[in-house]
Amino acid sequence: MRNENLQGLFDLMENEPALAFFTIATVLLVGGIVLVTAFTSVRKIVVSKSVEKSRREIAAYVAEGSIDPDDAERLLSANPHKIAKPHARS
């Protein structure tokens, strides 16, 4: 069965090279879009979890008295997405 599928692909490539190219290009494009979307989603999840962990740690420092509440508020009000983004090199 597997050889029949490959033979069909080879026949398509011989008889309709433009269609075969379009089909392969479409599959690669869609696969690339899926991969980029998956990696972007994973990155957002990791950043979100890291920010939440940092917020909990700051709250713990305030609770134990290591940080002033005003300093903690300043740290918590910082834009976490701005901090988490890598800087562009000039």
Integer Rg of the chain from CA: 25
Mean pLDDT score of the chain, rounded to an integer? 85
Scanning 1-90, the segments in alpha helix (DSSP H) are 2-15, 17-64, 69-76, 80-84
- More confident: 55 or 12: 55
**Structural domain boundaries in the chain:** 2-84
Inter-CA distances, 58 with 62, 73, 88, Å: 6, 9, 28
Amino acid identity of residue 6, one-letter, is L
> Residues 23-46: pLDDT tens digits?
889 999 999 999 999 999 999 999
pLDDT of residue 53: 94
